Amino acid sequence: MVTALVFVKAEVARIHEVAETIAALEGVSEVYSVTGEHDLVAVVRVRRHDDLNDVIPGRLNKVPGVRDTETHIAFRTYSQHDLEAAFSLGLPE
């Protein structure tokens, strides 16, 4: 499984519509609205690297209202347990 995080800048008046359209695309597992430089983050999960081409430039970038995207491909996935341990402050429960 290949995972990519796609940071999306959208037309302000269409952010909600863009998010819903992207979320409905095959290969997109989640879409988050975020603060900061970008408006949305889409999580794309596909079987092969070649499939990213179909999803991101092939469909996601063509959604009306998408102004710009920046794609980051994940190298490794950490389990929820690993993430909790990494962010633990070591305080007793």
pLDDT of residue 93: 53
- Specify whether the backbone of 24 is left (phi greater than 0), alpha (psi in -120 to 50) or beta: alpha
Residues 15 and 86: their CA atoms lie apart, in Å, by 33
pLDDT of residue 89: 57
Quick count: other Cβ atoms within 10 Å of Cβ 7? 17
Q: In angstroms, how far apart are the furthest CA atoms of the chain? A: 50
Instruction: Render each residue's pLDDT in the chain as its tens digit; 93 residues.
Output: 899 999 999 999 999 999 999 999 999 999 999 999 999 999 999 999 999 999 999 999 999 999 999 999 999 877 665 555 555 555 555
